[in-house]
Amino acid sequence: MDKDFIDAAEELIGYHFKDPDLLKTALTHASIANTRLESNERLEFLGDAVLGLVVVHDLFERYPGLLEGEMTKIKSAVVSRQTCAKISQLKGLSEFIVTGKGMSRPSGVPRSVAAAALEAVVGAIYLDGGIDNARQFIVRHLAEHIEEAYANEHQDNFKSMLQQHVQRKWNTTPDYRLLDEKGPDHSKCFEVAVVVDGRHFPSAWGVNKKEAEQEAARKALVALGLVGDEPTSAGPS
């Protein structure tokens, strides 16, 4: 690997190495290394651990209402070979991986090799620049995947999120109150509001009571600063 190659790789990664040999090792697959100790396998192992730590730390701070089991599910979805390979290929990192003959394909290196290289780069950045630089790299590339995994985990489950938060913080349960209903029997809309520990949150409409309760729970979570404000239900027609 010459200097131009390393410079181009650093530009893509967005980090300048004090020790370029770390980056060279991170991009060296075992199929071309003289020994496995000279390949990126050890850095991959380290990077996987750093990746997991940073993602869990981000989840812990970004979503204070998440329980341990929920964080575990989201972490598993984000810190996966599939996600790492996708990022490596989309960002062009896989094009910098040095492999032996027979490893390259018209479509590029195997996904497992691409994923391993991304983890190895994380490990290399951690050794070269510390946890803060590694965190910046990880969050920059994984933030949207974290948000997507969170959304998938909690889609249409705002009532559960609110109940878990309320039970933990106030040792009580949310009280859903039907405030109004409009429309003919075959096409009613319902207005529901949630009350938590004496605090009344904004009401919400839904085409049935379940939907109205979900939206009321979402509005309460928004007011509590636990989710973003993205309405899911419409008002009465």
pLDDT over 50 at 20, yes or no: yes
Which H or E run contains 115?
helix 111-129
Query: Does the domain spanning 3-154 belong to CATH 1.10.10.350?
Result: no
pLDDT at 148: 84
Query: What pLDDT, in 10s, does the model give residues 138-192?
Result: 999 998 888 888 877 766 578 888 888 898 889 999 999 999 999 888 788 999 9
User: Whole-angstrom Cα distance, residue 158 to residue 219?
Assistant: 9
- Domain boundaries along the sequence of the chain: 3-154, 158-223
pLDDT over 50 at 233, yes or no: no
Mean pLDDT of 13-25: 95
pLDDT over 90 at 211, yes or no: no
pLDDT band at 75 (very low <50, low <70, confident <90, very high): very high
Mean pLDDT of 89-94: 90
Class of domain 158-223: alpha beta
Q: Which residues are catalytic?
A: 48, 119
The pTM of the whole model exceeds 0.85:
no
Neighbour-count burial of 124, counting CB atoms closer than 10 A to its CB (0-12 exposed, 13-18 middle, 19+ buried): buried
pLDDT over 60 at 231, yes or no: no
CA–CA distance from 157 to each of 3, 45, 78, 170 (Å)? Answer: 52, 35, 20, 20
pLDDT over 50 at 40, yes or no: yes
Of 13-22, 96-105, 125-134, which gets the smallest average pLDDT? 96-105
pLDDT at 237: 44
Cα of 214 vs its chain's centroid, Å: 23
